[in-house]
Structure 1
Amino acid sequence: MNTTTQPVLFTQEEVADLKKEIGTDSLMGQTIEKLKAELNTYMAMPIDVPGHGEAGGYEHNKHKQNYQYINLAGRLFLITEDEKYAKFTAALLSEYADKYLKFGFHIQRNTNPPGRLFHQILNEHMWLMYASLGYSCISAWLSEQERAHIVDNLFKPMLEMFTVKYGHDFDRIHNHGIWAVAAVGICGIVIGERKYLEMSVYGLNGDGETGGFLAQISQLFAPSGYYMEGPYYHRFAIRPLAVFAEVIHRHMPEVDIYNYKGQVIKQTTQALLATAYPNGEFPALNDASHTMGITDMGAVVAVSMYFKRYGFDKNLVGMADIQQQVWLNACGLALSRAHQAEDNVEPPFWPSVELNEGEKGDRGAQGFLRMQGKDKDIYQLAMNYGQHGMDHGHFDTLGISFFNRGQEVLREYGFARWVNIEPKFGGRYLDENKSYARQTISHNAVTVDEQCQNNFDIERADIVHGTPHFFIGEGTELQAMSAFANQHYPDTGMQRTVMMLKTDLLENPVLIDLYRLTSEGAHQYDYSHQYQGQIIRTNFDYKTNTELHPLGGNFGYQYLWNLARGEVKGSALVSWVQGNSYYTWHGACAAADSEVIFTQTGANDPQFNLRHETSFIMRTTGKDMLFASALETHGYFNEAVEASVDARGKLHCIEVLGHNEIGSVVRVTGDNACLTVMVSNQPNVTETTEHQIEINDTTYSWKGCLAVKQETK
């Protein structure tokens, strides 16, 4: 029988180095002890290879746990030389080999083809990749007869199913496709049939363009490395990408995979890590969990791989400190040693970045601004002005999220799904994902006429995108980004400019936001802010509704309780406390009158599928319109010690002075000073573009994309 008996991801020298880490307090030592404890607990339970079950049910989760611990037990056998791990791995794989061909196929319930173990073939790809890695660690320990039983009754039938029965799905350029090629390629090495490795790298046609790993990494990511479905699915795709890249590096060095296509693997890994908030969580862009972050195993593997293959970066050391674990191989060991050598590990502080989208980088972008406050706290502002994100995309072009003081302040809802909670629709996406979570009103954006962008038409949304206007990401006192979205609502153009400004007038950077809309006809505009916390005060009277009704009838409005609303003349103020911080929002629009509406999810939700989230909406009507707001972070609150400091901010109001096709001018007034903010509205603005606007007999002039003038009262 032609089969290899060498571990796929370990050399003898690397195993010897890893053995030295056992019992140490390094990240690698801690990782080994943590994984040993987890595995020992799992091994204490009887081995179980169940049949079919629901997605997210016991059978699904048991198969998932089994493949994870097959991989882990194999690695720990190599490192510890404890035969109990080899025996466990062998027994579990042998039982799968006994039963696999007897299971039959699941009933197909969606567009994904079913497997024998899982309801969709994606999960079977994951199973094979992990099981192959674990098997490779014990194959030399197994007898020839044991190897033949596992290969002939388990691995080969899987390979035939993936590349023949479901060959049409194997070359799919998608995050599922990366799992497919990684599983088949690694298994091909394990059983000594290199044709499967070649097939996985170059595709079924062997051209490296219509399918296979090289096509995946060439076509799935933008030149910036950004993955259009967002960080949640990017971290899912990065796990097989990083694992298979390391396998190719070791077993097919002629490909030079880490330098392929201008180091695309470096680009895409860096792009993923650069989206993370300072606390390690990912913004919930598109369909996404609100709790997913860099502690996910995909990100752990990616950080270790990136460090080993592309060199030292203190941000990676900082991320490893948040992760408190490393990948259990030579890549992780390199990162662990670097972490141990640092006297003071600082939190990661990635530079501000604009990540272009589309295969050629010409379909908009995602912008991420980062600035440190005077107390070294990291502020992060993200804006979406790129592509829709395929079937997982949200209709929120020009939507923003904002993070500081360890928490998301202007929040993304993410997906409507309770992952792997079987009673909640099998843990799958809920109907409310389409009817609320993906709607424009559930985001920090402007909704026009209570409609969704692109009328919630995915096919139409996929052919339009935002247009970058300017991006200023290097300043320590002022950073800004601006973009247009002129094809997302009928007869309505949109432009949003957001900036973080640090001034001696305030203790913390302030977020300033200008959202401009243009139209030939009048529309209702809803300028929405998703927040979390307790309202402290407002500067306008509002009426609370003792009898609750939904705010609207469709496009997500049907899920919003109309809690309270009040009329506003001039500048509105809404202040709330979240965690230990106070936030005060000042908002105004170009119209003479507006109103602020307070909402909470929960209407028309009899099964309590939605989280209870709150928002406030500034509503007005008109043709051309400019919304402007300033969000101030201030003070300190600690209920445990009954401390409250600076519960009122230093800003007083914001005014829209004027706007036209040349530019927009707003004024922010605070204690003893005011700021005049002037922003270009010209699409082709450069650093040398001259601007001049006359408003109420006053001329405002500036050069470049924007200017901020500070005056003392």
Structure 2
Amino acid sequence: MLANLNAVLLDQQEIAEISQQLNTKSLMGLSLAKMISETQAYMAKPIEVPGHGEAGGYEHNRHKQNYQYINQAGRLFLITGEEQYAQYTADILTEYADKYLGFGFHIQRNTNPPGRLFHQILNEHVWLLYSSLGYSCIKHWLNEEQVKHIESQLFQPMLDMFTDKYGFDFDRIHNHGLWAVAAVGICGLAIGKPEYVEMSVHGLKGDDVTGGFLAQISQLFAPSGYYMEGPYYHRYAIRPLCLFAEVLHRHRPELDIFNYKDQVIGKTIKAMLATAYPNGVFPALNDASLTMDIKDQGVVVAVSLAYKHYGHDEKLLGMAKIQQQVWLHGCGAALSKAYQDSTNTALPHWPSVELNEGPNGDRGAQGFVRMQSKDGDVSQLVMNYGQHGMGHGHFDTLGISFFNRGQEVLKEYGFGRWVNVEPKFGGRYLDENKSYARQTVAHNAVAVDQACQNNFDVELADSKHGIPHFFESSNQDLQAVSAFAEEFYPGVDQQRSVVLINDDALEAPLLLDVFRLSSDTEHSYDYALQYQGQIVRCTSDYQTHKELAPMGDNFGYQHLWNEAQGKASENNLVSWLQGNSYYSWISASEANDELFFTRVGANDPEFNLRSETSFILRRQAKSTVFANVLETHGYFNEAVEASTNARGKVNQVTVVVSNDIGSVIEVKGEGIDFTVMLSNQRDVSAETQHTIEHNQQTYCWQGSLALEKNRG
């Protein structure tokens, strides 16, 4: 039966290896059992090929499910040998071939051109890719008439549309372009038309520059492997990238694709995985869901492929432990066997890493700083100082997020979108994505004059990027990241230095945040942090408002209710309970600072925004420094009525001095007396010497930062 096998991604040896895992408890066996159960349940339903529907509506989702099970049923036919799977795949593809050309183009319009099945051509690319994979598994089982009908009435018209009518989208350097070239190339192999493989590899012009897979992977990813749209879109782009790379590895070995451009595919997989929080969830950089994690199917494929082609990294076994599944492929079989044989499948602990941005690595970076506490819990700080992120970019350079104890503490809002919730604008991006979610005030940063970076101008933002200053990760008890942002607000230069400090007196790493702003004219500076949980105590003299009003009328402020405000205390403290942990924020306030407590929801008549909370420390100044710490402490368990260490140990943060040479910050409290010295000099190196005289005291250090622990 397999003598004429045309499967694009499976050979006979792999099919035999995978088949041996049926009814076992290996990761491959579990993955097979899950796929069989889901596919059988779907096959029990009548075949339905609907016409047009709203984006994210019933018809959309039905077409999406259909291509998923065309692919799965095709593979299960080869693995199990049961013809029911081949028959189902043939029947559903035949019905699509009967109807496809009669549908016409979708009447809905998006920013992308419409297809015959979906409101945007991107979804049709995905449909073709997966349906082609499934078809390739059963083509040898079909008779000549069936093959001719499916290829001439379904696949060939799709190929014509993608490479001719929408050729401009096919050659677009974008995650949409990746899906296009992968779909066309895989379909070309499935139907025996190699010319489409050539188009997909080299682009319509054949120059490897303006389009094609080689151009895509050369231009979309930085030398570090980072993808400019952020992890949420990276995990989406990684799926066609990995699938087509594996196809080319088998069918175009002369390309040596896994070593292409200094192993860019391996680097970008590793970079994507290295962004994840310790629980496997991806940070919400740029437009992003708050719940997307490494169990996504694209990431499952990427982990299996990376293990097979780029070395047996034990961290990948840890990723597989979280995923509890593997790709149903030879790569997944290799990972499954290694996992089964391994005696060390601990959860992965990725090291701190700075991922540069831009095709040449010279357009800023993203910093991921990780530090373990004494009990093994991992704190992770993320800071954005890269480029804008194209159409999905948020205006939040120097914004941060912070994670520990299994939860995001300083939150990212994520996108303004309810994916596949059709009544919410078809599951697409809502207007509030622009009016709030992408605005600077929503991103744990400083908003200047209650405005947005680069005036919310995408073209202007695309022309700029953050400037890396230093990234220190060699000392496990003292790690830091620092960067500059120039003219993101007219006449204002910004520098943020964030430090994680481990000390025996503390339960968890202490986060120190030093945010410098420099200007020749006075501005209103809003240092905003997004928190979640219950306020426990606050030292400022604030008053709640009986009647709520928005914080402003533009740049996201129109969506923030001003719930309370007051004069900030000298060492302003806000403490809150989140989950089972207490968090205390202590700031070095100035005389006229104001503290605001806000809640999202103003000017939102359709309740599109989530009701989330933040506090804002507002200061009027020319040049200034916000110095703050965030302490994690204590334990709370409502079920057993237990609460310990509800008060943190830090009680004072002081800016001793800050100038163009450096900033000296003191942090004091119960059993704590730190002096932290941070470089503000451009081009600082490990050899750079710093000396600051202040109040008859001299502060000296070498390199980007230093920490003195004063024990009294």
Q: TM-score, with normalisation over the residues of structure 1?
A: 0.98
**Aligned equivalent of 2:107:** 107
Distance 1:336 1:592 in 2: 61
Distance 1:214 1:150 in 2: 30
**Aligned equivalent of 1:549:** 549
**Aligned equivalent of 1:48:** 48
| Cα shift readout 1:211-246 (whole Å, capped 9, x = no counterpart) | 100000001111111111101111110000000000
SS at match of 1:48: coil
Distance 2:364 2:223 in 1: 12
One-letter amino acid of the counterpart of residue 275, structure 2: T
Q: Give yes or no for the alignment of 1:229 onto 2:229.
A: yes
Distance 2:574 2:692 in 1: 31
Give the 5 Å matches for 1:311-710: 311-589=311-589, 591-710=590-709
Distance 2:249 2:301 in 1: 15
Shift of 1:159: 0.5
Distance 2:240 2:4 in 1: 21
Give the 5 Å matches for 1:55-74: 55-74=55-74
One-letter amino acid of the counterpart of residue 623, structure 1: K
Distance 1:392 1:618 in 2: 28
CA contact (8 A) 1:385 1:397 kept: yes
Name the stretch that deviates more: 235-244 or 661-670.
661-670
One-letter amino acid of the counterpart of residue 207, structure 1: D
Distance 1:147 1:686 in 2: 65
One-letter amino acid of the counterpart of residue 673, structure 2: C
Shift of 1:593: 2.8
Distance 1:245 1:4 in 2: 23
> In the superposition, relative to structure 1, how do residues 689 and 264 fare at CA in structure 2: closer, same or farther (>3 Å)?
same
Shift of 1:344: 4.0
Name the stretch that deviates more: 481-490 or 203-212.
203-212
| Cα shift readout 1:367-398 (whole Å, capped 9, x = no counterpart) | 10111111111111110000010110000000
**Aligned equivalent of 2:246:** 246
Distance 2:81 2:331 in 1: 21
Name the stretch that deviates more: 153-162 or 539-548.
539-548
Give the 5 Å matches for 1:12-411: 12-107=12-107, 109-411=109-411
Structure 1 stretches (4+) deviating beyond 3 angstroms? none
| Cα shift readout 1:192-229 (whole Å, capped 9, x = no counterpart) | 11111111001111122221000000011111111111
CA contact (8 A) 1:569 1:593 kept: no
Shift of 1:552: 1.0
CA contact (8 A) 2:381 2:403 kept: yes
Shift of 1:410: 0.5
Distance 2:343 2:638 in 1: 35
CA contact (8 A) 1:388 1:394 kept: yes
Distance 1:678 1:138 in 2: 66
CA contact (8 A) 2:650 2:672 kept: no
Distance 1:531 1:338 in 2: 41
One-letter amino acid of the counterpart of residue 614, structure 1: T
CA contact (8 A) 1:443 1:529 kept: yes
Equivalent pairs counted in the alignment come to: 710
One-letter amino acid of the counterpart of residue 240, structure 2: P
| Cα shift readout 1:675-704 (whole Å, capped 9, x = no counterpart) | 111111111211122212222332222121
Distance 1:51 1:540 in 2: 60
CA contact (8 A) 2:294 2:323 kept: yes
Shift of 1:279: 0.4
Distance 1:673 1:134 in 2: 62
Distance 2:292 2:353 in 1: 21
One-letter amino acid of the counterpart of residue 645, structure 1: T
Shift of 1:4: 7.5
Q: TM-score, with normalisation over the residues of structure 2?
A: 0.99
CA contact (8 A) 1:499 1:511 kept: yes
One-letter amino acid of the counterpart of residue 612, structure 2: E
Distance 1:398 1:63 in 2: 41
| Cα shift readout 1:515-554 (whole Å, capped 9, x = no counterpart) | 0000000111110111111111112221111111111111
Distance 2:252 2:4 in 1: 15
Distance 1:177 1:390 in 2: 14
Distance 2:417 2:111 in 1: 19
CA contact (8 A) 1:573 1:653 kept: no
Shift of 1:108: 5.5
One-letter amino acid of the counterpart of residue 596, structure 2: I
CA contact (8 A) 1:4 1:190 kept: no
Shift of 1:474: 2.3
Distance 2:142 2:689 in 1: 76
SS at match of 2:593: strand
Distance 2:187 2:669 in 1: 65
One-letter amino acid of the counterpart of residue 444, structure 1: N
The runs of 5 or more residues in structure 1 that have no matched partner are none
Shift of 1:708: 1.1
SS at match of 1:525: strand
Distance 2:588 2:594 in 1: 10
One-letter amino acid of the counterpart of residue 488, structure 1: F
Shift of 1:147: 0.9
Shift of 1:672: 3.2
One-letter amino acid of the counterpart of residue 321, structure 1: K
| Cα shift readout 1:504-525 (whole Å, capped 9, x = no counterpart) | 2212111111000000001111
One-letter amino acid of the counterpart of residue 166, structure 1: Y
Distance 1:150 1:416 in 2: 40
CA contact (8 A) 1:529 1:616 kept: yes
CA contact (8 A) 1:634 1:647 kept: yes
SS at match of 1:569: coil
Shift of 1:673: 3.2
Distance 1:311 1:324 in 2: 20
CA contact (8 A) 2:541 2:569 kept: no
One-letter amino acid of the counterpart of residue 661, structure 1: D
Shift of 1:656: 1.4
SS at match of 1:473: strand
CA contact (8 A) 1:4 1:189 kept: no
One-letter amino acid of the counterpart of residue 640, structure 1: A
Distance 1:5 1:702 in 2: 68
Distance 2:71 2:621 in 1: 61
CA contact (8 A) 2:229 2:393 kept: yes
Distance 2:118 2:558 in 1: 36
Distance 1:499 1:149 in 2: 63
SS at match of 1:629: strand
Shift of 1:51: 0.4
Name the stretch that deviates more: 94-103 or 138-147.
138-147
SS at match of 1:302: helix
> In the superposition, relative to structure 1, how do residues 355 and 381 fare at CA in structure 2: closer, same or farther (>3 Å)?
same
SS at match of 1:563: strand
SS at match of 1:232: helix
CA contact (8 A) 1:538 1:573 kept: yes
Distance 1:415 1:696 in 2: 48
**Aligned equivalent of 1:711:** 710
CA contact (8 A) 1:96 1:154 kept: yes
